[in-house]
Amino acid sequence: MTKDSKRIIFLADMQSFYASIEKAAHPQLRDKPVVVAGDPERRSGVVLAACPIAKSYGVTTAEALWQAQQKCRHLVVVRPRMETYLRVSVQITRIFESFTDLVEPYSIDEQFLDVTGSVRLFGDPWRIAEEIRRRVRLETGINSRIGIGENKVLAKMACDNFAKKREEGIFWLKREELADTLWKLPIEKLFGVGSRMKRHFHRMGIYQIGQLARMSPAVLARRWGVNGEVLWRTAHGLDNSPVSLQTHETQKGIGHHMTLPRDYHTAAEIKVVLLELCEEVCRRARSKRLMGSVVSVGCRGADFDAPAGFGRQLKLPEPTHDAMTLYEAACRLFDRHWQQTPVRSVGVSLEQLVPDNVVQLNLFTDTHRQRSLARALDDIRARYGQDAILRAVSLLGAGQARERARKIGGHYK
């Protein structure tokens, strides 16, 4: 047996996380079809979470709210409360940490656990999974599902493809049983295969995971490079990555993206949002003591059937975390590539990051004064709120800074 095969890894997923929290907080919603979505009053935004009752009407996560309401006329729509969800996520992490110190957040409602060393303390893996589910249900009111495997890939696919469909909410996916379990599933059920890759595989006549698993990895590598080899390894349940508290590689970029409440048609409107995004990106860069030398700008329209927009980047003369410097570069990209089409989403990112103490002095600009002013603004916002001090353009109709200050991760606190 290899070292990797001796590991026991869990992927714990919280069922309909946001909706489950709302039902636990409001017992009168227990038997109602509940979704958590953007703005119930304006019927705008997308469904962030749907409870099992809502899903029985065909409501799906990520669909437009108005479409969900057409499927279920008596749908109960709850505005998201991100601060509450983050607090419950931390509470669940603490439960996991009472079983193992190797807990890796995968998302707000999914976490990997390495319980290899916990078996001698708490019993066999299945028993540990049952106790974790019991604790989470008792202390938060949320149902959880747990996939078990000898590595993270197997645990993830065990949870997504099997545990979620079983009454006990637990499934152990073993490599020696893949031919009778995982390989019989459609190709899109393989971790890492999205809708685009699914279409590629279908054009090749590959419809099941087993067909991919039986192919030569060299053939897949020639066609898709490293990604092809990774998918072959995934189909065979091969993965050596550790469960680690350090969940992210060294940060390569800092970005911020915003979906607008309506189509923006004029350059003046869009540039208001560009400035707000540049301010937010640079604030985050300064908080991490980083600067970047590449700016990326992306704009997209609202028609997903006929997508319009652009995504471009520009190399800056020197690293910066100054909002106006970033904004001027972003405007150059925008003026050069925008084709006068309506815009519904805008994004700005700062890349090729370096520590902010690695900067050449510029004899023609007062860098120290710019930095001091930016730090003062950061301190005011940190103390009194992000909307405590705003640029005048943010008070115009196109401005989104005040509304964004009421949110976490784009959703209401």
Domains and CATH numbers, the chain: 17-82 (3.40.1170.60), 180-235 (1.10.150.20), 253-412 (3.30.1490.100)
Residues in the chain: 413
Task: Using a pLDDT cut of 90, give the percent of the chain over it.
Answer: 55
Mean pLDDT of 336-348: 91
Structure confidence at residue 227 (pLDDT):
87
Structure confidence at residue 107 (pLDDT):
87
Mean pLDDT of 159-163: 97
Q: What is the mean pLDDT of the chain?
A: 85
Cβ–Cβ < 8 Å for 145, 170? yes
Residue for token digits 């907080």?
25
Is 131 designated active site? no
H-helix or E-strand spanning residue 275:
helix 267-287
Mean pLDDT of 153-175: 97
Structure confidence at residue 154 (pLDDT):
98
Structure confidence at residue 14 (pLDDT):
97
SS3 of residue 256 by DSSP: strand
Mean pLDDT of 263-275: 90
At 350-363, the pLDDT tens digits run 998 888 775 554 54
How many CB atoms are located within 10 Å of the residue 280 CB? Answer: 19
Q: Of 22, 104, 110, 280, which residue is the catalytic one?
A: 110
Q: Which range among 35-39, 106-110, 314-318, 362-366 shows the weakest confidence by mean pLDDT?
A: 362-366
Whether the CA torsion 382, 250, 88, 404 is positive or negative: it is positive
Residue 364: which pLDDT band, with cuts at 50, 70 and 90? very low
Q: Which range among 34-43, 305-314, 392-401 shows the weakest confidence by mean pLDDT?
A: 392-401
Structure confidence at residue 51 (pLDDT):
96
At 196-252, the pLDDT tens digits run 889 989 999 999 999 999 999 999 888 888 888 999 999 999 999 999 875 444 557
Rg (CA), the chain: 24
With b for 16 or more beta-carbon neighbours within 10 A and e for fewer, the 102-123 pattern comes to bbbeeebbbbbbbbbebeeeee
SS3 of residue 67 by DSSP: helix
Task: Establish whether 109 is an annotated binding residue.
Answer: yes
At 318-334, the pLDDT tens digits run 888 888 899 999 999 99
pLDDT above 50 for 192: yes
Cβ–Cβ < 8 Å for 14, 20? yes
pLDDT above 60 for 73: yes
With b for 16 or more beta-carbon neighbours within 10 A and e for fewer, the 201-222 pattern comes to beeeebebbbebbebebeebbe
Higher pLDDT, 83 or 251: 83
Task: Using a pLDDT cut of 70, give the percent of the chain over it.
Answer: 81
Residue 253: which pLDDT band, with cuts at 50, 70 and 90? confident
Residue 185: which pLDDT band, with cuts at 50, 70 and 90? very high
Structure confidence at residue 3 (pLDDT):
46
pLDDT above 80 for 262: yes
Mean pLDDT of 300-319: 78
The rounded distance, in Å, linking the Cα atoms of 413 and 396 is: 23
Residues 6+ apart with CB under 8 A from 195: 188
Structure confidence at residue 252 (pLDDT):
72
CA 295 vs CA 140, 338, 362: distances in Å = 42, 16, 20
Torsion of Cα atoms, 60 then 236 then 154 then 249, to 10°: -90
Largest CA distance in the chain: 69
Phi, psi of 301 (to 5 degrees): -85, 180
Residue 93: which pLDDT band, with cuts at 50, 70 and 90? very high
How many CB atoms are located within 10 Å of the residue 376 CB? Answer: 11
Q: Give all strands of the β-sheet with 290-300 in edge-to-edge order.
A: 253-264, 343-355, 290-300, 309-320
Statement: the pTM of the whole predicted model exceeds 0.75 = no
Structural tokens at position 325: 């410097």
Mean pLDDT of 140-158: 97
Residue 39: which pLDDT band, with cuts at 50, 70 and 90? low
Cβ–Cβ < 8 Å for 69, 402? no
Mean pLDDT of 102-121: 94
Task: Establish whether 31 is an annotated binding residue.
Answer: no
